[in-house]
Every structure is written in structure tokens, then in C-alpha cells.
Amino acid sequence: MADGRPLYVARPDLPPLQDLLPALEELWQSRILSNEGRYHDEFEAALASYLGVDHVSLVTNATSGLLLALLQAGLTGQVITTPFSFVGTSHALRLAGLEPVFADIDPISLNLNPESAAEAVTSATSALLPVHIFGRACDTAALDNLAEQHDLKLIYDAAHAFAVNDKGGSVLRHGDMSVLSFHATKVFNTFEGGAVISNNAMTKAAVDELRNFGIIDEVTVSRVGMNAKMNEFCAAVGLLQLVHIDDNIAKRGIVDARYRELLANIEGVSCLPAMSAQTQNHYSFPVLVDAGARYSRDELYNKLQKQGVHARRYFYPLISALPMYRHLPSARPENLPVAHDIAARILCLPMFPDLTADEQERVAGIIADAAIGAV
């Protein structure tokens, strides 16, 4: 509520964007387009309530959010992270003047392997930056223990982890900060956007200052910051998307289950096991092409592409194989055998709430043809 009136009204009979028109008219009439306006503040509060967290700072995108979190943490030297992620994870480290140190991943969760991370800790290590890949939660207990043991900051790239919970609640509560992405490709989106989840009010206040150039008031600038504020338009989109998110996640769950049924008896391809003891947001549907399959991952990828099915090789190449990172000692392939194996075999099939049974059957049929060597 704001000024005694509801900010938006759920319209389950209409697509979300059609709800946006009255909100845009009100936004325009308010003359407040940015700098923590009405929609921004209400969206921040609504997100905290929905996600079950206390401190949310809206930002322009997840990369900016990661950079703000790293700057607020006051890190120096090296940060241990995963090579199996979107490149923005390591780019944020570089932009903050930090050196990424790559550790290997777990073959089941595909997340940073805590044992490999522990082996990478040195006197130069200041933090851990794990990623909840595909919304599959990291081994937070092991990573929490590792960070505490070595007095390291722990910041989670939670770009994929919207509405993911473990037995204790939101996975976003772990570590010193977590960073969400609201990019258009995500389960929940504001076209562009993101959020930093802090574990205390002081950290949130500091992040809020950093996202607005370090400005306190008209005459006071406290520190060097940047322009990473979410605008009112994106905040309004976010409020409206919250109306539909539970339904969208449920539909994604149906798509996920249907894929598993269709692919169960096709040779050469394996679905990732569901993660136990956590809720799923069904961000993506990755499969692994088996080592002994009749076809390679790239051959299957090309076969799908030729028939108009846009699967993606996430994440290939590894971040550690890119030219700005492959010179690092930790980027040597022999240090990252699991990550290299997964990157060579993974393929993410189309996944969105309105994907139909017929469309999924077509995808499965193309994979089945590949399995028997059909052209």
C-alpha cells in the first residue's frame, strides 16, 4: 500500500505486461523516474517479504551488484571462485581490482567444490565467491565453515537462485551477501535489474550509499561509489511480476518433469539429478551427453540448431579458458578436471513456463534420432 491505495492489482486473466500500463501512467504523473521513488521502495519491501530476507538493495544488474558487494566487503588480493559460471562473475572481481582463483566444481551440483576451494586458500585469499549454478544451491554448510576457519568473506553469486530455499529458509541468507539477477533470461525478471541481499542493516545502508555515488545528502558524499540504482520502470515491472512468479515457477516444474519423463529412456544423454533438501525454481534444464554416446555434445547442439531448437552450451567455454583469465596459474586445465569434463558435455535445453508438451516431444525426438544415428 502507498498513500492508502494499492500500488497494483493482480490480473491473472491478462499477461503481466498488460498490468503495466496503469502503473506506467501513474509513474509518469509522479515525475519520479529514479532515485528511490515509490515503486522502488515498495518493490524492495515486497521482495524482502516474498524471499524471506531482511535487507534488500535493488541495483541495475547483477554484475553491478557483485561489484558493490565486493567493494563493500573491502577485499584485497585473491578471491576463490568457480570457472563454471557466466563471465560476469569473474569480471566483477577484476573490476574490483581482485584476482580470481579458480577451484574445481562438484560433478553432481556443478557448484564450487568446497574441498577444491579449501586447497586453493593461501595467505593472499580474502574471500570466497561461489555461484548457485542453475538455482542448485551450493554446499553452504561446508563453505560457511571454510570461510569461518580462514576468516574469509563469503559472497554468493545467486543470479540463478531466486526463490530457492533449503531446510532453514532462503539460500540467500547464507554468507555475508548474496547477489540476485533480474535479467530478462531469469526465472524472475525486471527486464534488467538485480539485488544485493545483506545480512545486517549496516551493510545494506553501505551498499545503498555505494549504488548512488556515495551520496548522503545534497552536500555530503561519504565515499567513492557508482550509479547502480534501479529505476522506477524496472521496479514497477518487478512488482507486477511478483503477482505471477509462483504460477510461473509451478509451470516450469511441469516442464522439468515432462523433460525427465521424455528423456528417461534415450541412450547417451543424462538429466542432472534433482537437488534434495531444497526447493527448485527450475531455472534451466541442463543435460549431460554421456562420455560413450554415439554423438558428441557439439554434434547434438548443431543437430538441434539446424532444426530450430536453440539449446545453449552453458557454460562453455569455461571462464578460466578465456584470454583474460587463462594465464592465471589456477586456470590450468589439470587443476580443473571436473569443470572441463562438464563444460564439454553439458547442454541446456529450452526452458520457459509456456513450453508446450508438443514442443518438448519434438526436442526429445531430435535427441532420440541422434541416439540411433539418424540424420
pLDDT tens across 283-296, in order?
Answer: 999 999 999 899 99
pLDDT of residue 18: 57
- β pairing state of 177-181 and 153-157: parallel
| Residue 339, phi then psi, degrees to nearest 5 | -60, -40
Mean pLDDT score, 188-213? 97
Which alpha helices (DSSP H) does the chain contain, by range? 16-30, 38-51, 62-73, 88-95, 114-120, 140-149, 201-210, 232-263, 297-306, 337-345, 357-371
Whether 345 shows a pLDDT value over 90: the answer reads yes
Domain 246-371 superfamily per CATH:
Aspartate Aminotransferase, domain 1 (3.90.1150.10)
Residues 175, 156 contacting (CB under 8 angstroms):
yes
> What is the rounded CA–CA span in Å between residue 109 and residue 241?
28
Mean pLDDT score, 175-191? 96
Using DSSP, state whether 80 is helix, strand or coil. Answer: strand
> What is the rounded CA–CA span in Å between residue 86 and residue 148?
27
CATH ID of 16-241, from 3.40.50.150, 3.40.640.10, 3.30.565.10, 3.40.50.720: 3.40.640.10
Same fold, 16-241 and 246-371: no
pLDDT of residue 27: 75
Mean pLDDT score, 179-188? 96
Which residues contact residue 10 at a Cβ distance below 8 angstroms, ignoring those fewer than 6 apart?
19, 243
Report residue 373's pLDDT band, with 50, 70 and 90 as the boundaries. confident
Report residue 176's pLDDT band, with 50, 70 and 90 as the boundaries. very high
**Lowest mean pLDDT: which of 17-26, 223-232, 305-314?**
17-26
Whether 16 shows a pLDDT value over 70: the answer reads no
pLDDT of residue 30: 73
Whether 1 shows a pLDDT value over 70: the answer reads no
Tell me, letter by letter, the H, E, C secondary structure of 115-153.
Answer: HHHHHHCCCCEEEEECECHHHCCCCHHHHHHHHHHCCCE
What predicted TM-score, i.e. pTM, was given to this entire model? 0.92
**Rounded (5°) CA angle 157-190-92:** 30
Whether 25 shows a pLDDT value over 80: the answer reads no
Which residues contact residue 255 at a Cβ distance below 8 angstroms, ignoring those fewer than 6 apart?
282, 285, 351, 352, 353, 355, 360
Residues 281, 187 contacting (CB under 8 angstroms):
yes
**SS3 breakdown of the chain: % helix, strand, coil, rounded to 5?**
40, 15, 40
Domain boundaries, the chain: 16-241, 246-371
Question: Over the stretch 107-119, which tens digit does the pLDDT of each residue have?
Answer: 999 999 999 999 9
If one compares 273 and 374, the residue with the highest pLDDT of the two is 273
Amino acid (one-letter) located at 128: L
Whether 9 shows a pLDDT value over 70: the answer reads no
Average predicted confidence (pLDDT) for the chain: 92
Q: Of 94, 79, 173, which Cα lies nearest the Cα of 129?
A: 79
pLDDT of residue 374: 58
Residues 339, 352 contacting (CB under 8 angstroms):
no
| Residue 252, phi then psi, degrees to nearest 5 | -60, -35
pLDDT of residue 193: 98
Question: Over the stretch 35-92, which tens digit does the pLDDT of each residue have?
Answer: 878 899 999 999 999 999 999 999 999 999 999 999 999 999 999 999 999 999 999 9
Report residue 277's pLDDT band, with 50, 70 and 90 as the boundaries. confident
